[in-house]
């Protein structure tokens, strides 16, 4: 694997010298996400394998190209999990891609996002240098938190060679419940219940039904069920899996799919299109043919932002909410610090010049 | 002697009482919580509005004057140590809790608000702010963000970075940055993560939105005594391997137990080599179920004694000893030096053995207090600053402990920050290329290096001078630097 790293460094140095953009890519399961790909395909999925895993330390370190499936299977054997429930969106989804896209699943509002679990990285920057930041311990404040910065950076800062993650025990018991109510009432309920000591681990609302998941000690889940009421959903895991992987009917590609990240108590959005709410109200999926500006405007008026998540064959320009000028300038300077020749995934996350 | 133009221009937008420049007025600001380092600042400014902060920063940028921001000044690494030719920017007057939103479970606060004050203000809604550094009655939330502060409940509830949503900050050029939002994520890079723990080097925070959590229905603590510190360490691993994440999991060694017991009479067993305090919180049912499991694990891990707090008063008593461990050690020794390394937990027996050996070698006693759940070790080296050479010896001993933490795969600082104190340790932990990149990150925010210069990230020359270099992976660090 060290040979592979040397090869990657050489590819990057050569690209830097010739000012050739590289499109950094793992399995390609999330190719649809972010700005249009530019540059020569740079496949880094070959750098794979789990390096260290000690269940009692709650830490796993693996190479960037390691399939998420492999990591999740090993964790499951040891009664543990990736608590941010990363969506795969394809069979070979890699750890590197998971961290680079920074996408988290149904448990996010209750356990945290990818960035909350990243402890350390080994990466190659735009000079071809092999660097390490963070570590394999849970508390570490030495140096700026470069490893968390990598989460969601869409490969624009460097190639992730290794990632160390905090992992958590799987809950002893999980139960999925459904309650019928309107959207306004559902948003209020999700927020109120999140403010009570209840073992909530996921919530979703669509089409008059609030679905929620309780996770924890058996007795705690049973007691919360009694408190909250609701009807038990027979195949709870399948429901949450469908939501995480966007395989349920709601996600049928009949219009562009927007992801609106909003303050959780934002009232139901008065917009045309189909909506599905997750994360206790903080995530709103919107399938709509509305103009991008109108969707972004809706999001920013509510204090959040909108992402054109799946363009469904439409144009993928300005996928993300534009950054304020001072913040954009900072992004450009940071990008330059990591990738002075601007070779990694140009334009994938923001306008670089 | 204050810069003459600086003073006269500050007076154009700051009231007289917001500027301290007489020696006797600035002297009290000479150190933060790490009093071994002292430096009188050129002048101290205590603004009250964001606009004033903005004008101060713009002026310093224009005149090339360095700025050190400070909240309550309780930090333990000298991160808010003033500079002789710089301004100390106190944010102590930014004390307002702007709003609390009980439904969304957030609080918008100014940076000078005390950590504990947030939880107190949120309490009527059944909510609290989770990170609880030991200085929480005094430390400010702005300082917590700058240091990414932890506390005894980190394993379950995370650090500051996991518990804030948004900050508003000013660059040295006086640009306003809105970072994060009241939503769970933001477009672009995760600048919220980058700024958290950046030790005042990148921007000055003027407002913070924190997350509030529901107060657990119940908390319960078990105290376990061990006749062997290795058994106590193994017990920690066994609890976590059983799928339990305690709210707090703390360990103390014999010397720390003795000091704490003499000070607060918590009822700790004095014949134990180590004690563990394991706190479980959650719903009533959950705690009842887990407490039985934890007791069984501790028993089978070889605990010589087990006590479950019978009521809230006893729970607080169990904690009182741990929480008073630092001052308790302060009573048995003229001075102590607190270390803050983090290690992979499985390395605990080896690290403790090495610390014992080093303790004999240096002739300085060590009391160990340990956030056992997350591997954050606080060895307290006992010394007497009045004895010539003891501080230097202590620092050398401390540096060895930090190098040991790095050697076993850990870090030189878990929660106290690098500040000025651990600059040498940074040279051990990072290579020159990593340090170069950290400097480049700093320059992306602050090209002239005016915000808290000289802290957190050492220059390559300093690393070379300290000689604190490791031959890592067979490569020599800083090959570009001359050696004499």
Is the Cβ–Cβ distance between B42 and B3 less than 8 Å? Answer: yes
The answer to whether B126 touches B213, Cβ cutoff 8 Å, is no
Over the Cα atoms of chain B, what is R_g? 23
In chain B, residues with a C-beta closer than 8 Å to the C-beta of A57 are 237, 240, 344-346, 375
Q: Where are the alpha helices (DSSP H) in B29-166?
A: 50-63, 115-122, 141-147, 154-157
pLDDT digits (tens, 9 = 90+) for A69-90: 999 999 999 999 999 999 999 9
Nearest chain A CA: its distance from B155 CA (Å): 8
DSSP B33: S
Cα R_g (chain A), whole angstroms:
21
The pLDDT assigned to B396 comes to: 93
Asked if pLDDT for residue A208 goes beyond 90, the answer is yes
A88, A121 in Cβ contact below 8 A? no
Distance, in Å, from the CA atom of B154 to the CA atom of B175, rounded to the nearest integer, reads 33
- Rounded Cα distance between A150 and B164, Å, is 18
User: Which residues, including other chains, have CB under 8 Å from residue B359's CB and lie 6 or more apart?
Assistant: B365, B366, B397
Q: Which two tokens stand for residue B270?
A: 């004095």
Instruction: Write out the E strands in B185-247.
Output: 204-211, 213-214, 218-226
Q: Does A185 touch chain B (CB under 8 A)?
A: no
How far is Cα B281 from Cα B291, in angstroms, rounded to an integer?
10
Residue A344: which of A186, A69, A155, A139 has the closest Cα? A155
Q: Is B472 left (phi over 0), alpha (psi -120 to 50) or beta?
A: beta
Residue A344 scores a pLDDT above 90: yes
- What does the alpha-carbon distance between residue A74 and residue A244 come to, in Å, rounded to a whole number? 20
Name the strand (E) or helix (H) holding B482: none
Neighbours of A320 (CB within 10 A): 20
Give me the residue label for tokens 């690494």: B77
- Residue A258's beta-bridge partner residues? A286, A308
* The pLDDT value given to residue A105: 98
* pLDDT digit string (tens) for chain B, length 484 residues: 567 899 999 999 999 999 999 999 999 999 999 888 999 999 999 999 999 999 999 999 999 999 999 999 999 999 999 999 999 999 999 999 999 999 999 999 999 999 999 999 999 999 999 999 988 899 999 999 999 999 889 999 999 999 999 999 999 999 999 999 999 999 999 999 999 999 999 999 999 999 999 999 999 999 999 999 989 999 999 999 999 999 999 999 999 999 999 999 999 999 999 999 999 999 998 999 999 999 999 999 999 999 999 999 999 999 999 988 888 998 999 999 999 999 998 898 899 999 999 999 999 999 999 999 999 999 999 999 899 999 899 999 999 999 999 999 999 999 999 999 999 999 999 999 999 999 999 999 999 999 999 999 999 988 988 764 443 433 434 444 433 3
Query: Is residue A310 exposed (0-12), middle (13-18) or buried (19+ Cβ within 10 Å)?
Result: buried
Q: What ranges make up the beta strands (E) of B309-352? A: 335-338
Statement: residue A271 has pLDDT above 90: yes
Contacts with A59 from chain B: Cβ below 8 Å: 344
Interchain CB distance below 8 Å, A125 and B437: yes
Q: Are B71 and B92 in contact (CB under 8 A)?
A: yes
Nearest-Cα distance to chain A for B299, in Å, is 18
- Give pTM, 2 decimals: 0.95
Contact list in B for residue A195 (CB cut-off 8 A) is: 102-103, 105, 125-127, 214
Task: Output the pLDDT for position B35.
Answer: 86
DSSP string for residues in B117-132: HHHHHHGGGTEE----
- Using a CB–CB cutoff of 8 Å, tell me whether A334 touches chain B: yes
A-B C-beta contacts closer than 8 Å: 273
The pLDDT assigned to B1 comes to 57
Which stretches of B446-484 are DSSP H helices?
A: 460-466
Non-local CB neighbours of B207 within 8 Å, separated by 6+ positions? B50, B98, B108, B109, B110, B111, B167, B168
* Minimum Cα–Cα distance from B105: chain A residue: A195
Residue B423: exposed, middle, or buried by beta-carbon count in 10 A (0-12, 13-18, 19+)?
A: buried
Phi, psi dihedral angles at B31 (to 5 degrees): -145, 160
Convert the pLDDT of each residue in A237-248 to its tens digit: 999 999 999 999
Contacting residues of B for A327, CB less than 8 Å apart: 177-179, 188, 191
Q: How far is B241 from A53, CA to CA, in rounded Å?
A: 12
Reading the block at residue B402, the tokens are 């930090």
Name the residue in chain B with its Cα closest to that of A320.
B187
| Rounded Cα–Cα distance for residues A36 and A31 (Å) | 9
A75 and chain B in contact, CB less than 8 A = no
Tally the residues of chain B.
Answer: 484
The closest CB to that of A263, out of B148, B182, B426, belongs to B182
Q: Give the distance from CA B266 to its chain's centroid.
A: 25
Q: Could you give the angle at the alpha carbon of B335 between the alpha carbons of B331 and B341, nearest 5°?
A: 105
Does residue A58 sit at the B interface (CB-CB below 8 Å)? yes
Cβ separation of A139 and B376 shorter than 8 Å? yes
DSSP H or E stretch at residue B48 = none
Q: Which residues of B are less than 8 Å from A115 in CB distance?
A: 190, 193
- CB within 8 Å: A135 and B409: yes
ipTM entry: 0.97
Res B4: pLDDT: 82
Question: How far from chain centre, in Å, is Cα A301?
Answer: 24
At residue B209, what are phi and psi to the nearest 5 degrees? -110, 120
pLDDT in tens, A157-167: 999 999 999 99
Three-state secondary structure call for residue B49: coil
Asked if A196 reaches chain B (Cβ–Cβ under 8 Å), the answer is yes
- Could you report the per-residue pLDDT of A20-66, keeping only the tens digit for each? 999 999 999 999 999 998 999 999 999 999 999 999 999 999 999 99
Q: What is the pLDDT of residue B368?
A: 95
Q: Do A141 and B190 touch (CB under 8 A)?
A: no
Nearest to B90 by CA among B28, B176, B166: B28
- Of the candidates B371, B411, B433, the beta carbon closest to that of A142 is on B411
Euclidean distance between CA atoms A339 and A333, whole angstroms? 10
């Amino acid at each position: 694997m060290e040979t592979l790293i040397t090869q990657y460094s050489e590819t990057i140095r050569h690209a830097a010298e010739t000012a050739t953009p590289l499109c950094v890519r793992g399995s390609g399961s999330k190719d649809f996400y972010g700005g249009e790909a530019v540059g020569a395909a740079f496949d880094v999925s070959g750098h794979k394998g789990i390096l260290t895993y000690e269940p009692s330390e709650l830490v796993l370190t693996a190479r960037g190209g390691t399939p998420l499936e492999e990591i999740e299977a090993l964790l499951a054997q040891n009664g543990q999990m990736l608590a941010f429930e990363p969506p795969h969106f394809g069979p070979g989804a890699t750890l590197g891609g998971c961290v680079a896209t920074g996408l988290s699943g149904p448990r996010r509002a209750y356990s945290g996002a990818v960035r909350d679990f990243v402890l350390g990285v080994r990466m190659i920057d735009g000079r071809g240098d092999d660097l390490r930041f963070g570590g394999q311990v849970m508390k570490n404040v030495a140096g700026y938190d470069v490893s968390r910065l990598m989460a969601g950076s869409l490969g624009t800062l460097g190639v992730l060679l290794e990632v160390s993650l905090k992992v958590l025990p799987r809950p002893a018991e999980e139960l999925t419940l459904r309650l019928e109510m309107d959207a306004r009432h559902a948003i209020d309920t999700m927020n109120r219940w999140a403010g009570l000591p209840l073992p909530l681990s996921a919530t979703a609302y669509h089409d008059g039904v609030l679905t929620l998941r309780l996770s924890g000690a058996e007795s705690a889940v049973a007691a919360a069920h009694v408190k909250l009421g609701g009807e038990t959903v027979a195949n709870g895991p399948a429901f949450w899996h469908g939501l995480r992987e966007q395989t349920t009917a709601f996600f049928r590609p009949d219009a562009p799919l927007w992801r609106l990240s909003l303050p959780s108590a934002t009232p139901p959005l008065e917009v045309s299109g189909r909506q599905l709410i997750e994360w206790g109200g903080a995530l709103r999926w919107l399938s709509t043919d509305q103009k991008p500006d109108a969707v972004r405007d809706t999001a920013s008026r509510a204090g959040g932002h909108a992402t054109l998540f799946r363009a469904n064959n439409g144009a993928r320009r300005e996928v993300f909410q534009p950054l304020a000028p001072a913040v954009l300038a900072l992004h450009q300077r940071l990008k330059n610090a990591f990738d002075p020749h601007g070779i990694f995934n140009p334009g994938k996350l923001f306008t670089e010049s | 002697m204050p810069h003459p133009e600086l003073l006269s221009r500050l007076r154009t937008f700051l009231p007289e009482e917001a500027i301290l420049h007489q020696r006797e007025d600035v002297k009290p600001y000479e150190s933060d919580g790490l009093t071994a380092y002292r430096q009188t600042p050129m002048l101290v400014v205590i603004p009250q509005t964001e606009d004033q902060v903005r004008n101060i920063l713009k002026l310093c940028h224009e005149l090339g004057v360095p700025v050190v921001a400070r909240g309550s000044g309780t930090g333990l690494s000298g991160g808010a140590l003033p500079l002789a030719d710089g301004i100390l920017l106190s944010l102590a007057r930014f004390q307002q809790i702007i709003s609390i939103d009980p439904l969304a479970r957030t609080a918008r606060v100014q940076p000078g608000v005390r950590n504990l004050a947030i939880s107190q203000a949120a309490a009527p809604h059944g909510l609290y702010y989770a990170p609880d550094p030991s200085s929480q009655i005094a430390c400010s939330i702005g300082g917590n963000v700058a240091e990414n502060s932890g506390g005894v409940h980190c394993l379950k509830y995370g650090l500051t970075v996991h518990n804030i949503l948004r900050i508003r900050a000013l660059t040295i050029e006086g640009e306003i940055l809105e970072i994060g939002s009241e939503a769970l994520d933001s477009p672009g890079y995760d600048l919220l993560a980058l700024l958290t723990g950046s030790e005042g080097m990148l921007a000055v925070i003027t407002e913070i939105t924190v997350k509030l959590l529901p107060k657990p229905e119940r908390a319960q603590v078990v105290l376990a005594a061990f006749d062997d510190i290795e058994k106590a360490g193994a017990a920690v691993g066994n609890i976590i391997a059983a799928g339990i994440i305690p709210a707090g999991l703390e360990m103390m060694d014999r010397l720390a137990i003795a000091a704490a017991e003499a000070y607060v009479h918590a009822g700790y067993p004095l014949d134990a080599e180590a004690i563990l305090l394991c706190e479980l919180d959650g719903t009533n049912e959950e705690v009842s179920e887990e407490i039985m499991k934890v007791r069984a694990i501790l028993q089978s891990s070889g605990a010589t004694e087990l006590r479950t707090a019978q009521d809230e008063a006893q729970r607080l008593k169990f904690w009182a000893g741990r929480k008073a461990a630092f001052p308790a050690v302060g009573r048995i020794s003229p001075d102590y030096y607190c270390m803050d390394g983090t290690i992979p937990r499985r390395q605990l027996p080896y690290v403790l053995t090495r610390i014992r050996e080093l303790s004999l070698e240096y002739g300085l006693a060590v009391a160990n207090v340990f956030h056992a759940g997350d591997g954050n070790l606080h060895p307290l080296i006992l010394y007497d600053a009045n004895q010539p050479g003891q501080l230097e010896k202590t620092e050398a001993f401390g540096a060895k402990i930090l190098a040991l933490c790095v050697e076993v795969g850990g870090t030189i600082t878990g929660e106290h920050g690098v500040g000025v104190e651990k600059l040498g340790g940074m040279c051990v932990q990072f290579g020159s290329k990593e340090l170069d990149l950290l400097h480049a990150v700093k320059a992306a925010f602050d090209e002239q290096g005016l915000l808290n210069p000289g802290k957190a990230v050492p220059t390559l020359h300093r690393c070379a001078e300290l000689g604190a270099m490791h031959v890592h992976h067979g490569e020599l660090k800083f090959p570009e630097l001359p050696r004499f």
